[in-house]
Amino acid sequence: MSAPSIHLDADLIILGGGCAGLSLASRLAASPSTLRVVVLEGRDHYKEDRTWCGWRTASHPYQECAVAAWPKWRITNTQETIERSSNRYPYEMIPADRFYAESCRVIGNCATVSLVMAANVATVFERVGSFHIDLLDGGTFSSKWLVDTRPRVIALRPPSLWQNFVGYVVHGSQTLAERIGDSPVLMDFQLPGTSAVQFIYALPLGADAYLCEWTRFSKERGEESKIEQQLLEWVGENAGQNWFLGRRESGSLPMSLVTRKVQAGGRIVLAGTAGGSMRASTGYAFHSIQRWADACCGALLAGEAPVPPLRNRALDFMDEVFLRALQQQNSSGEAIFCSLFKHTEPDALVRFLSGQPRLADYWPVMHSLPWIDFSLAALQSLYCAGGP
Ligand SMILES: Cc1cc2nc3c(=O)[nH]c(=O)nc-3n(C[C@H](O)[C@H](O)[C@H](O)COP(=O)(O)OP(=O)(O)OC[C@H]3O[C@@H](n4cnc5c(N)ncnc54)[C@H](O)[C@@H]3O)c2cc1C
């Protein structure tokens, strides 16, 4: 006698309709797939809560949402300004509200993919080959496959740091217009001295508006009020007259490697930041999430199970060494970043930072780093990998 078939609400449920969840759902919605997909998102509406930037190393479905694609960028310290450029890999900016609106539009046009807002997932359990999800408000859902993109509250595995930041859009400042100009400043280290790695990240948004973020790499998570105060003092000292503050954004990004156990695929997959899409050494995630969404959509269209984000062991090792060197601070973080940007050919560095290096890109990157500190950190990483 065959087992009775169980009615499931969906083939695939995606927990969390943020960057990763919507990227996958909208690809499935735009494809010929007939899979029944439900995205469960905790928020009751979307707003412009962040600005995604990064180098576009490959085309992706959200290109039309980009409001800027700069061919050059700078980093600066008290001694010099290092300007780099690439016509092949622009540094693009995608405001979150455009991304959310585009995703909702594509999903809204598809009868088999649905987005449920204000759906706060309380518990998830597996029973006889299916997943059952209970919402806080009492609703329930079931599916054959699960992709979980809910952020985790995690204790980081050393070596690791938190990338804490607070940013404001500053309007109307002529002084900032002169200082920042028309291309992004990825790191401005000209800040009152501390031993921490900290810098201003500044983006020209057009019409006399600049997003200015104070960023600090720290062993502690958060520090929001302290960073906010430092940012506001910096704006006060550097923005001149007649400016006013607009939108605010903040975050604490885990700069840490995700263990392979967490990543393990199967019928349930962790994705987005939770699944290791965020580059440990930089905090960039948007473009690697796009690559994962392509791969995962491809697997599902082929009738296979969802796949976790792809990891590159060599890059993971280099990130571990990098984080160890940053944590130990034998060389200053400022010196490491300035040397990296100054001495590595921009396209090679972009591919490396974006998680897509060619074999020939590793050597120039390694060559530009303070080799004594990095050799020591590498030896420690090797020892820890082989240790008890
Ligand atoms: C302010 C900010 C700026 C950033 N800027 C950049 C950048 O410029 N470039 C870059 O590459 N990366 C950037 N990042 C990092 C990264 O790209 C983002 O954090 C990105 O949103 C990660 O995608 P995700 O899908 O993993 O998480 P999210 O986009 O945060 O999505 C997770 C979703 O899960 C939902 N959720 C959580 N709990 C539940 C629950 N119990 N039930 C249902 N839903 C739930 C959340 O509401 C959220 O929508 C930034 C991050 C922040 C915070």
**pLDDT tens-digit map of 7-40:** 889 999 999 999 999 999 999 999 999 999 999 9
Distance 163 CA to ligand 1 centre (A): 14
Alpha helices (runs of H) in the chain, residue ranges in sequence order: 19-30, 96-108, 174-180, 224-238, 260-263, 286-301, 313-328, 333-343, 346-353, 359-367, 371-386
Mean pLDDT of 346-370: 91
Mean pLDDT of 32-50: 96
Lowest mean pLDDT among 87-101, 269-283, 327-341: 327-341
Distance 18 CA to ligand 1 centre (A): 6
**Amino acid identity, position 228:** E
pLDDT digits 0-9 by tens, 97-107: 999 999 999 99
Ligand 1, atom 15, lies closest to the CA of: 285
Tell me phi and psi for residue 18, to 5 degrees.
-105, -145
SS3 content of the chain, % helix, strand, coil (to 5): 35, 30, 35
Give the span between the Cα atoms of 234 and 188, in whole angstroms. Answer: 12
- Indicate if the pLDDT at residue 62 is higher than 50: yes
Lowest mean pLDDT among 255-269, 335-349, 361-375: 255-269
- Indicate if the pLDDT at residue 370 is higher than 80: no
Mean pLDDT of 79-86: 96
Instruction: Supply the pLDDT for residue 320.
Output: 86
| Residues 141 and 10 sit within 8 Å (Cβ to Cβ) | yes
Instruction: Supply the pLDDT for residue 49.
Output: 94
Give the span between the Cα atoms of 162 and 198, in whole angstroms. Answer: 12
Distance 327 CA to ligand 1 centre (A): 25
DSSP 74: E
Q: Are strands 91-95 and 113-116 parallel, antiparallel or unpaired?
A: unpaired
Distance 19 CA to ligand 1 centre (A): 6
- Indicate if the pLDDT at residue 380 is higher than 50: yes
- Indicate if the pLDDT at residue 329 is higher than 80: no
Mean pLDDT of 248-266: 78
Distance 241 CA to ligand 1 centre (A): 35
**Amino acid identity, position 67:** V
50, 146, 186, 356: residue to mutate for ligand 1 pocket, most atoms within 8 A of CB? 50
52, 213, 269: residue to mutate for ligand 1 pocket, most atoms within 8 A of CB? 52
Q: Please give the number of the atom of ligand 1 that sits closest to the Cα of 16.
A: 34
User: What is the residue extent of each domain of the chain?
Assistant: 10-49+96-154+258-301, 161-255, 313-386
Instruction: Supply the pLDDT for residue 2.
Output: 44
Residues near ligand 1 (Cβ within 6 A): 15-21, 40-43, 50-54, 119-121, 149-151, 249, 251, 253, 272-273, 283-286, 289
Distance 202 CA to ligand 1 centre (A): 20
Matching CATH number, 10-49+96-154+258-301, of 3.90.79.10, 3.10.310.70, 3.30.420.40, 3.50.50.60: 3.50.50.60
Provide the pLDDT confidence category of residue 273 given band limits of 50, 70 and 90: very high
Mean pLDDT of the residues in the chain? 90
Instruction: Supply the pLDDT for residue 387.
Output: 44
pTM for the structure as a whole = 0.94
Ligand 1, atom 53, lies closest to the CA of: 251
Ligand 1, atom 35, lies closest to the CA of: 16
19, 51, 227, 247: residue to mutate for ligand 1 pocket, most atoms within 8 A of CB? 19
| Residues 270 and 292 sit within 8 Å (Cβ to Cβ) | no
- Tell me the CA distances in angstroms from 8 to 1, 118, 326, one per residue in order: 21, 21, 48
Nearest to 215 by CA among 255, 163, 160: 163
What is the percent of the chain with per-residue pLDDT over 70, rounded to a whole number?
Answer: 90
- Tell me the CA distances in angstroms from 295 to 46, 285, 289, 301, one per residue in order: 26, 15, 10, 10
**Amino acid identity, position 84:** R
- For residue 196, the number of C-alpha atoms closer than 13 Å in the C-beta half-sphere is 17
pLDDT digits 0-9 by tens, 187-219: 999 988 666 789 999 999 988 999 999 999 988
Provide the pLDDT confidence category of residue 263 given band limits of 50, 70 and 90: low
- Indicate if the pLDDT at residue 3 is higher than 60: no
13, 26, 40, 41: residue to mutate for ligand 1 pocket, most atoms within 8 A of CB? 41
Give the span between the Cα atoms of 331 and 370, in whole angstroms. Answer: 7
Q: Please give the number of the atom of ligand 1 that sits closest to the Cα of 20.
A: 25
Give the span between the Cα atoms of 327 and 201, in whole angstroms. Answer: 21
Instruction: Supply the pLDDT for residue 141.
Output: 96
Mean pLDDT of 348-360: 95
Mean pLDDT of 365-376: 75
| Residues 331 and 380 sit within 8 Å (Cβ to Cβ) | no
Tell me phi and psi for residue 300, to 5 degrees.
-65, -40
**161-255: CATH number:** 3.30.70
Nearest to 38 by CA among 6, 5, 11: 11
Q: Please give the number of the atom of ligand 1 that sits closest to the Cα of 96.
A: 21
pLDDT digits 0-9 by tens, 122-166: 999 988 889 999 999 999 999 999 999 999 866 677 778 999 999
Instruction: Supply the pLDDT for residue 388.
Output: 38
DSSP 151: P
Ligand 1, atom 16, lies closest to the CA of: 285
297 vs 370: which has the higher pLDDT: 297
- Indicate if the pLDDT at residue 376 is higher than 80: no
- Indicate if the pLDDT at residue 170 is higher than 70: yes
Distance 149 CA to ligand 1 centre (A): 9
